[in-house]
Amino acid sequence: MSKKEKASKVEDLSSRRFQQMADENRELKVYVADVMQRLRQNERLFSRMFDLESQVLKSTDPEDLCFTLLRGLRSSFELDFVRFWLDRSSFIGGHKLGSLSERDLVWVEKDEIREMGISRKQAWLIQLSPEHAFDWLGSQDQHLGSIALLTLGDLDRPFGVLGVGSIDRDRFAPDQSSDFLQHLAQVVGLTLEHAVAREHLARLSVTDTLTGSQNRRFLQPHSHHPLSQWFGNVTQVSCLYADVDQFKGLSERLGEEVGDNVLNMVSKALHKHVRSSDPLIRMGGDEFVLLLPGCGEEKARDIAALTIQAIAESGVVEGEQITASVGVAFSSANRDLAVKELIALADQAMYVAKALGGNRFEVADSGEDSGH
């Protein structure tokens, strides 16, 4: 091979090497650009996630938290579908979450999440088609192209599933990374568990452990405020103040356990003819306050009479007839008393009923003999 041919061959090899390096450089630039784009996308995603987490942490209860998550996920992440499936038998099953529609929340039965196989991992990415559907979706969800299913709670004992979806079939394709979605599943699961625990502790702090009614601590934030601030400007409020007749002597003679049983019976009698949302407060000892927003005078009198009757008809406890004295007071929109003022009026009427022999109710400021 001549020198000229050798030089030509070297030049050709160098040219091809430079071309190869140029190609590799272009590929590297494309790769770096793609990585940088993904980093910027992830940065935006986590920035939105941080903002959403901040909003979630401000939520006051599980219902508010779920609503915040649903609204935030739809708006911040441009999702066409967001829905909770929650296990009715789990710790969250005791929360009605009434502000969430069927579009937002579906209750599932015990072990249904496990039977669907969803609890095997934290996040599932599914492309949807007529041949590959998801059983929990309805006819109103046929527009979806892909969904991600996020398992909430411990995989051994999941309490729910969060579904997020898009009309884009590639948005949650199985080959996509699920790191962000797994993080989202953990955040949502933990915040919901903590919200339920906080609400439970808050409820315990204002609940009478013996009777299940509210206690004085429940009343304290409202006590000095006008009734309209609690129940609304145009709402008439009635109040019953109940006290068990001769309770101290009965408890001393028959023992604390019998006394506790009597208090539980009286609490149930007070609840019997009213709405579950009407505040019943054990003021201490054997005294109870029942607040009845939107209840007129005639209806309040009927409830007082029925309560007296229910307590008396509860029977004899170890030879002792159980009775109670009840005071009734009213406040209307044109007489907007403070909460504590209305309670004080009913308390005074209760003492009148007790002085007249008990087992009866009296109405405050009636101006006439209204004993029954």
User: Mind listing the pLDDT tens digit of every residue in the chain (372 residues)?
Assistant: 565 555 565 566 667 776 777 776 777 666 666 655 655 655 565 666 667 767 766 776 788 888 888 888 888 888 999 999 999 999 888 777 877 888 899 999 998 999 988 888 999 999 998 888 888 998 889 899 999 999 999 998 999 999 999 999 999 999 888 888 888 888 888 888 888 887 777 777 788 888 989 889 888 888 999 998 888 876 789 999 999 999 988 888 888 888 899 999 999 999 988 988 899 999 989 999 999 999 999 999 999 999 999 999 886 777 788 999 999 999 977 788 999 999 999 999 999 999 999 999 999 974 444 456
Statement to judge: residues 125 and 252 lie in one domain: no
Among the three residues 170, 203, 236, which one is the final residue of a domain in this structure?
Answer: 203
181 found inside a domain:
yes
3 found inside a domain:
no
Statement to judge: residues 224 and 359 lie in one domain: yes
Statement to judge: residues 77 and 184 lie in one domain: yes
Give the strand pairing for 105-108 and 81-87.
parallel
Among the three residues 203, 227, 257, which one is the final residue of a domain in this structure?
Answer: 203
371 found inside a domain:
no
Statement to judge: residues 139 and 173 lie in one domain: yes
Cross-strand bridge partners of residue 323: none
pTM beyond cutoff 0.85: no
- Provide the b/e sequence for 311-332 (b: ≥16 CB within 10 Å): beebeeeeeeebbbbbbbbbbe
Statement to judge: residues 187 and 229 lie in one domain: no
81 found inside a domain:
yes
| Rounded alpha-carbon distances, angstroms, from residue 372 to 268, 288, 302 | 21, 19, 11
CB atoms within 10 A of CB 194: 14
Q: Which residue, 282, 274, 351, is CA-closest to 307?
A: 274
230 Cβ contact partners less than 8 Å away, ≥ 6 residues apart: 222, 293, 339
What is the residue range of 339's domain? 216-363
Among the three residues 203, 236, 265, which one is the final residue of a domain in this structure?
Answer: 203
Statement to judge: residues 222 and 338 lie in one domain: yes
Statement to judge: residues 136 and 236 lie in one domain: no
The token pair that represents 71 in the structure block: 């609204």
